[in-house]
Structure 1
Amino acid sequence: MSGLEAFHLLRPWALLVLPLLALLWWAIRPKRHAEETPLAGLAPHLAEALTLGGADRRRLYPIDGVVAVLALLTLAVAGPSWTRLPDPFQAETAPLVVALKVTPSMSEADIAPSRLERATFKIRDLVARRAGAETALIAYAGTAHRVVPLTTDPGILSSFLDGLSPKIMPVDGDAPGAALARAQAEMDRAESPGAILMILDDLPPDAVAQINAAQHGPLVLYVAAPPEVALPQLDGIANAQLVRMTPGEADLDQIERHLTSAYRAALVADDTQVWEDRGWWLAWPAALLLLVWFRRGWTMPWAALAALALSLQLAPSQARAEGVADLFWTPDQQGQRAYAEADFARAADLFEDSMWRALSLFRAGQYEAAAEAYAALDGAEAAFGEGMARLRNRQYRPGMRAFARALELRPDYPDAARNLAVAQAIVAFVERTQAQSDTGEERGIGADEVVMDNESGLGEQTEIMPTEDGLGLESAEQWMRSVDTNVGDFLATRFKLEAAAGEGVE
């Protein structure tokens, strides 16, 4: 329904050709004449046999097929569209916040090995399917707590899932309202629209009104309970999709469909994204109608010559793809097909359009080549693309200069300003680290990054001393690896501190 509401034409002026096609059809199509009076003195069957054209009662003529093909091509040129192109520098899958219920009821073994363990297995499988997309994890019982913020690293999420159990939750109970509020707060930090997945086995009746009154994005309720367990209160949740846990992957397929639908609906509402031209879909029925021309009596020489002339006019000067595809699609069209199929390396070889070729190189992970391709182009978008490729290739200072150039060309470019600040922070951190250690290898700071970006010549030999909070200059992940206690004990301690401070409470 959202697609129908968003349907429009990118180039509606092309529809002006349709009246001309109708006039052409009316002028060329044979007209039916009134039947003449049978010849006097002849039997009716003899008169019919002796009259030329008397038996020609066919309803379709070659001009009908020609005009139908031209009409379809005209509609394709008009550019029907009902979806937007996603930001190529963001994951094409919606961010997801998973709110997992961690209560004693989730330890029931009616779903082997238990409801909670099966839910953790399903989360891992879902994250593996959504490679490159951001996922966050919230655990809740009587209070709700953030376990992992939005991250694209499935390893971090998996390690914390192993530490979840009802005994680490500081407050007994069931507070889905607090979990939903916490999940929505996490979703508000995402750069692109996403959805919330609540995994639960039951819902308190008094929580239905709270959830319906709460302001939240797309919500999917994932029920970790056997099919025979009736949960009528879940039907009272408005604007939420209900998915039952299954032994196979049908439930994950259903969840992915809901997430994709929510992401596309959010893109339609995003005025900053470009509309996607879907006119190429009409080329297929037009091609099928052209097959009728191979039938005897349906060939129109003038139409065939016009189609041949049009194909020669639109033929690419340099066809780099092999096979019969060159006869029907330009290299850019073939590159677009390869890009849509996520074959980015092949798309980069096919594209003649410089911007699309640079983008394909970026998506293929060829960051050095992508940066060079973007550097050869003009415009703020090209400078921004070069900056993104430089950052991915750990060339922070060149990336910083590229973002600064993008802001010079377009001062009102918030993405470039944000990424410029990130690049400046990375360079400052690297130089500060280099000033305290010659290589930084003892603390896990890669030597390649220091040599590449430290242009100020900093680097005196000193020992890095940890700060009072025990973190020092280590990252959160490195610090977690050095913690002697297991993940469950760490989470239990952190949840208790948050509960004592009043966090995660409805």
Structure 2
Amino acid sequence: MSFLYPLWFWAVIPCIAVSIYLMRRSRSQTLIAPHIAKAMGLELGQNKSLVKVFTLAWLLAIFALAGPSLEDNTRPSMQGNDARVVVMDMSLSMYAKDVSPSRLDQARFKVADMLNLWTDGQTGLVVYAADAYSVAPLTRDSQSLLNHLPQLSPAIMPYAGARADKGVEQAISMLTNAGFQSGQIVLVIDDLSNKEKQAIESMLDGRWQLAILAVATENGAPIPLPDGGMLQTASGNTVVATSQFNNMNNLAQTVGGLFIPIQHTNRDVETITSMSDFLGNTVNDANAQKEITTWQNKGYWLILPIMALALLLFRRGVLFGLVMLVSLSQPNQAFANPWLNSDQQGFQAYQGGDYPKAQQLFDDPEWQGLSAYESGDYQTAIEHFSRLESTRASYNLGNAYAQAGDYDNAIEQYRKVLSTEPGHQDALDNLALVEQLKQQQPQDSESNSKDQSDSDEQQSQSEQSQQDDSSSSESENDGEQPQNESQPDAASDSNPQDEQQQQQQQQQQQQQQQQQHDDANSKPSEDNQQDLTQETQNEQIPEQEDQQASMTPQELSEAEQQKEQDLRQLDRVEAARDPSRLIRAQLQLQAQQKPKPQVTEKNW
């Protein structure tokens, strides 16, 4: 006999202590005199018997909670230890449509069917073009691999080309790094050259089993490009992507593998997966001697005698409830949400739009920064992103600086990203946009000072014109005064009216001048706003500075609105988060850690 939870026997100590206390208490304290209790049939022995029953029930409950096990359950360990790597061709020829809807789509469908049929072992995913890269390491979670398949295309590859031997080499490296000395390599390709065939033959030995699925036809087809055109050679001829089935078949026969062309039925997938299952069964037969032993808990049978003893304590309702509570409380090793860790809970909150809660739940500083960024707390996002050293963190840090208005640091972070990834298109776009916004800042201040100087100049001009008008009016009055000497009272009465008329005329002239000045400046401002949205017209920046120097306050508000639209554009770029971009960034990072692949004659 063994016990699953032996720590429960520590409860015997308080059980004995409580029993001794109750026995002594029943001797020293009685509510009824002994001779009266004897006459009534309530002797001291009854109290002692109740204490004994209570103690026995408690001990049985402890024994049951300890989990007594009288027999074990032994079963063989049948967990598969086989491993396989799917190597997918991502050369430009996969765009060909000699198989419907295209070679690329059919390759995705076939690999998805394989992943659904593989229920045991570990599977990895590798893609190749001019070089090979790992998309997902070996894992038992087929669903994670299925999520990657729709994002795979030749467009995400760092370099164009076709090197199937590089894909096989990457697959072998993945298997050996995971500690496997044997495994299966499933090659999903559309063509195989003689050079690739010879290189693969030199890599494979008896440890690695090769299966080739040809996703193409021997006649081939032109290669359509995403822009709608056809792939052409340097001389202008249309490229026709043919397939050499003979090389694939000869390679499979040489290394003792399997070759099968794509079929409209699922027979090709079933053939490859059955080959993998056969290899897995061989591994399981070798491990058949390993067994797993589990003990069965028989403590629940003790509930029956505990309930029988509880009947004797029926009149003691409190004790009865206490015994039942202890006997029925089984140990439950519970955890706070055992199926989701804090990062996963934070991701759920992030997907639900509760970004402040997600920021509190995440332990990963990068996700904390993304949550703070989405909630508009850009300073906190800057603090989180600053703790990271990756290229993606630098890009996100640049976005946070841009949103916070710190364009200098934003430009520095974007340039840092481009120093490691020169082809990072998002960083290039954002860098150009932020530099344009930075140039706009001093122009806004210059326009404010220009407006102030213009207003001062207008005011001085109006004062000068007013003085000229007043002097001219005085001269006219002096000329008329000799003629009106006979009427001095009338002349004195008409002077205030003339001054009022002159002031009204001056105000009208000033309004007309101001309106003409606004009309003269409004058109350049509208042209300037159009120029700000055209990033390709960088040669017009000096002209824009001259135009912005004469912007009115109303036009400045329009410039601020344009700036907000540009910042919202940054938000849209960041919010898109195309999964294919993440995979492309992952492949580009791997490409930077490898030497640049050599240029081959066939780059498709």
Judge same fold: TM > 0.5, yes or no.
Answer: no
Name the TM-score, length of structure 1 as normaliser: 0.42
Task: State the structure with more CA Rg.
Answer: 2
Structure with the higher fraction of residues in helix conformation? 2
